[in-house]
Amino acid sequence: MATSGGRGTTPEEPPTSLFSPQLNGLLQFTVRLLTETEARFTSVERIDHYINTLESEAPRQSPSADAPAPSWPQQGNITFQDVEMRYREDLPLVLKNLSFTLGSEETIGIVGRTGSGKSSLGVALFRLVELTGGSIIIDGINIAQIGLDDLRSKLAIIPQEPVLFIGTVRTNLDPWDQYSDSQIWEALEKTHIKEMISQLPHTLHSEVTENGENFSVGERQLLCVARALLRNSKVLILDEATAAIDTETDRLIQQTIRCAFGSCTTLIIAHRLNTVMSCSRVMVLDNGQILEFDSPTSLLADENSRFRAMIEASENQSR
């Protein structure tokens, strides 16, 4: 509005409606920022919970006086003595008073329905969860009394889901650069994948994408078998590794286990019952307890055997 008396003019104030869109956008941005901040602080709270609430794992290394010999284990004898385990204090036992002994170079099959405790045996052996009671002895040494690295570096596992990392074929097989190229090629040959790797553009130095997506499931599984073979361990856990692969890869894995891992004490945790028929003994688990533990021939000859009933049910389903 203009003023009189020669005092100049005063511009009109802009209407409030001109600022409304800007204020609205600023408020929306502020609300969105606060929401994102709150969501991200959930991760901070979780990290704080992990640091202050969860128990730390046992020491990685054994005290020098308790460290096992570098050659341990030489035989691969395994004894479970009254083993009990639960995943948390407020949860029920998943392994209940398990007692058994595995001889050197013995191959046993472990079967049972889902939740019977099959995979928990592997968890106990690797000490991913500490035992509630009892002990596990490998070649005379209580595994609870040695460091986690000393234990886990001496065990080999072939998991159900093959795990590969971004890098090269070589770094996936030998991440710590402990083996020569000739040793790696020998392991690849024994696992029947040498020809495929040799045809890659850069052979051992060929790229592996995230999760190994540039390899088939069967190829990823065979690479995991080769990685386990390189460790030259006396104890091998095959954790349901044949449940999600094709029949041909299954055959190659079983052949490799019989030949290349013949000097290992092997625990096969399987869903496919045919994979345990060649084992020296079969353990049938239910609700964390051993129902049966004998040779496949003896169990099949017993009309009241749970293993025999599982075989018959499987055959009926396949018809």
Q: Which two tokens stand for residue 30?
A: 């502020």
Residue numbers in the chain where pLDDT is lower than 70 = 1-19, 65, 241-244, 318-319
pLDDT for res 147:
93
Write out pLDDT tens, residues 257-303.
888 898 999 999 987 888 899 899 999 999 999 999 999 999 999 99
Reported pTM = 0.79
Q: Where are the alpha helices (DSSP H) in the chain?
A: 20-52, 118-125, 148-152, 169-173, 181-190, 194-198, 217-230, 247-259, 296-301, 306-318
For the chain, the structural domain boundaries read 78-160+234-318
- Please answer whether residues 243 and 271 qualify as being in contact, where contact means their C-beta atoms are separated by less than 8 angstroms: yes
Q: What are the phi and psi torsion angles at 84 (to 5°)?
A: -130, 145
pLDDT for res 218:
87
pLDDT for res 21:
72
pLDDT for res 256:
86
- Rounded to an integer, what distance in angstroms lies between the CA atom of residue 268 and that of residue 238? 5
3-state secondary structure of 236: strand
Sign of CA dihedral 185, 210, 243, 77: positive
The pairing of strands 155-158 and 235-239 is parallel
pLDDT for res 1:
47
pLDDT for res 65:
65
- List the CATH code of the domain at 78-160+234-318: 3.40.50.300
